[in-house]
Every structure is written in C-alpha cells, then in structure tokens.
Amino acid sequence: MSSTTNSPTHHTSTIGAIGAPSRRNTELALLVFAVVIPVFAYANVGLALDGKVPAGLLSYGLGLGLLAGVAHLVVRKFAPYADPLLLPLATLLNGLGLVAIWRLDQSKLLQAINVAGGKATNQLIYTAMGIALFIATLIFLKDHRTLQRYTYISMATALVLLLLPLIPGLGANVLGAKIWIRIGSFTIQPGEFAKIVLAIFFAGYLMVKRDALALASRRFMGLYLPRGRDLGPIVVVWAMSILILVFETDLGTSLLFFGMFVIMLYVATERTSWIVFGLLMSAVGAVGVASFESHIQTRVHAWLDPMREYKLSRMVTHDGIAHSDQLQQALWAFGSGGTLGTGWGQGHSEQIKFAANSDFILATFGEELGLAGIMAILLIYGLIAERGIRTALAARDPFGKLLAVGLSGAFALQVFVVAGGVMGLIPLTGMTMPFLAYGGSSVIANWALIGILIRISDTARRPAPTPASNPDAEMTQVVRPS
C-alpha cells in the first residue's frame, strides 16, 4: 500500500497587487467640492456687488464642471492609479482664480485703465486650453520614462524658449521685464513652459551624473565639498540664470530655474554642500546684478521702503525714476482684510490698478478672505507640492523621482517668490501665482505640470503584476512507500 501526500502550494504575490484601490471615486467626490465651492463664491460676489445672483452663474458652473468632469474621465481611463488629490486641488485653485478675476472685472476703476473687463471669460478659455494640454499629456505620454530620451533636446528647447523674448520684433518689454513674446494681439511667456522642459533636462542629466557629483574631495566646517571639476554643471546653470537676470531683468525666472536645479541636485546627491553653494552663488549673482540694473534696484527700493515709493509715485515732479505704489497698496489690502476678511466683493484691491488680477491677485484674496483665506490658499498649494514629493518617494525609477521633485520644487518655489513678493517678504519678482492669476501661459503650463505629475504618480502607484504561478509546483505529488 502507499499513501499520497500533496505538497503545499506556494504563491508569490506583490502586496497590493490584488484589488488595489484606484481612488478614482475619491477623486470624483473631491472634484464635486472643488467645483461647488467656486460656484458659491461666484454667487457671493454677485450678491455683494449687485444684490442679486450673477446672470452667468449657471454657465460658469457648467463650464467649470464640464472641464473638471472630462479631465476626471481621462484620468480614470488613462491613469487609473494616479494620485486622487492633484486634479481636485488644481481645479479648486483654478476655479477660485476665475472668481477673483471676474470680481475685478466689475471694477470701474480697472475698466477705465483697460486692466479689467472680459478677463474672466479669457481665463476660462485659457483654462480649457490648459485642461486640453493636460488631457493630451495623459493620452500621449504613456510612460514618463520616455522623456528621458529627450534629455539634451530638452536643454536646447529650453534655451530657445528663454531666448525668444530677446529677439527684436518678437519680444515685448512690459514695465522693464523682457519675458514676453508678442504674436499679433497675443502675448506669451515662454519661461512658464521652459521650467517644465528644464526639469526634464535636469532629471535626465542628474540621473546619469549623480554618482560623480556626490563624490567629495575634502571636508570643511562639517560640509563635504565637491570636487572642482564637478562644479561645472552648477556654474553653467548659475551663469544661465544670471544672463536671464541681466538681459531679461526677470528676477523671478532666474531664481526659479537656479533654485529648481539646486533642489534636484541635492536630492540626487544627498550632499548639503550643494545647497550651501547654491545659496551663496544666488546671493552673489543677485547682489551683483542689482548693483547696476536699475529695474532690479527699483524693486529692491520698493521692498525696503514701500511707503516712500508710494509717496514718490504721487509727486508731480520727482527724481525721474519710475516709482510704483503697488506694494504699499497690496500691504494695505492685507491689513484691511484682518483675520476673516471683508467678504467677497467688498474689498478695494482694485486700488493696486495694473496687475491687480495677475501679479497681485493674492492681495484680493487677502483683503476679502482675510488671513484665514490666505492660509487656506497656501495650504492648498502646500498639498499640491506635498503630493508631488510623495509621488517622487513612491516612484520606482530614479528619473521619475528626480522629475517629480523638480516639478514639485519649481511649483513650490514659484508660489514662494510670488507670495513673498506681494506680502513684502522678498522683492517683487513679476511672476504670476499658479492657477489663481490671470494669464494664459501660466495656467496652460501649470496644467501640463499637473498632468506629468499625475502620469508619474500613476506609474508609481500602479500595483506590480502578480507573477504567474508554476503549475508544476502545484501539481507535484510526493509518493512515499507505506
């Protein structure tokens, strides 16, 4: 006689591979709130200004809801495991920005100087174009790692984008900053798109060179100093940012590009010394350029003593230098808002006049929503950056990690330099608040940025396929003699 005993079956599987939640229903629920909140804000502005619900409330709500719904369906189809917070957070900011722009459109003062009037409609069109680019990114960018093939092409493309505003007849000088190109009646800010392209180049370059850049030749005051020959990349990027500052007089873009590179360099090498070198080089470059560039000097003077600039801007005859009262007006707007704000539509931020709906739109939120509203806005920005960093931590490939860090760092840096400038923490930079401010280039580029982050997060969160089981192992029978 013999007895037959089956051997135990061995299954090898990846944690989370079976039934991993895609979180798309969570995203949809959050999107409903992200659309409803701006719609209520829109109605609130109308009631405050005219005592009645705005006539365009239904079309605004349907337009924003339709755009958000289409974006959600595309994410559900082409990036089912993507982060569920990025799309709702961006939609909420974009919607609130549209409300603030429409609120300023109603100002007779801004209409008189051709700053307001129909801007909200234009911004809704720009939003549609941005979400179209967002959708195209998810459909055609099947895997973010394919961007690594275009590392040096990205560098060349970024340089072309940055040089376009300097071409005579194409570039446009707006209040001393040469960061625009004019095509017919349209103006485009190429630097907004260059930040994404440069992030791709930095990620591809640092992934290959990170081991060499991480080597330290000596230790000085607790810091590991890099080798002299490895300083080349940071010197090149530093020189490029200084050239932008000199020829385009654009402090914001210069700071953004160099800061993004230093952040990615630190993440790639884990060397604190790169942060120290980056801060020292940016300080030396900014001080050096400010010593002879009058446009930068004017902004520094306005930062150091905004009240003096306010008084000089109102003098009939003064020193011949263009003075601006914008920063002082913005500070007054923040101050009058207090803790809870004056309420939607009940502030006077139109006194900022030029750039009230673009560079200084944060002052409108500060006055009408108060400190509580500003903290909520900054928290939303912080959550977007945090989800980007979380995506970088979850990414399985070094290129994806660096690209997610670079895009998140660029986004966070832009928020810092704009909010810091408007609040008087640092000199004004002339950049626009992502999603909130009026401007086609900014909103379109930032929707593309969110699209790339969602693609990376989908790849990072997608469960690994369960390896096929071995039928031979399962069916093996051990026959033992009785």
pLDDT digits (tens, 9 = 90+) for 209-264: 877 777 755 666 666 666 666 666 777 777 777 777 777 667 777 888 888 888 98
Domain-located, residue 474: no
Half-sphere exposure of 171 (CA within 13 A, CB side): 18
CA 475, distance to chain mean position in Å, is 56
pLDDT tens for 5-61 read 444 444 433 333 344 577 899 999 999 999 999 999 999 999 999 888 998 899 999
Helix (H, G, I), strand (E, B) or coil at 173: strand
42: which 2 tokens?
A: 């829109």
Contact, 205 vs 197, CB < 8 A? no
Q: Can you give the pTM of this predicted structure? A: 0.87
49: which 2 tokens?
A: 């200004």
H/E run at residue 185:
none
Domain-located, residue 55: yes
Contact, 79 vs 455, CB < 8 A? yes
| CA–CA dist 401, 407 (Å, integer) | 10
224: which 2 tokens?
A: 């590991």
H/E run at residue 71:
helix 57-78
pLDDT of residue 131: 97
- Which stretches of 338-439 are DSSP H helices? 361-394, 398-422
Per the structure, the count of domains in the chain is: 1
pLDDT of residue 422: 92
Q: What angle do CA 245, 415, 99 make, to 5 degrees?
A: 120
Domain-located, residue 375: yes
pLDDT of residue 7: 42
Taking the alpha carbons at both ends of the chain, their separation in whole angstroms is 6
**Domain, as residue range, for 144:** 22-463
Domain-located, residue 4: no
pLDDT of residue 231: 65
pLDDT tens for 419-472 read 999 999 988 877 889 999 998 889 999 999 999 999 999 999 888 766 655 555
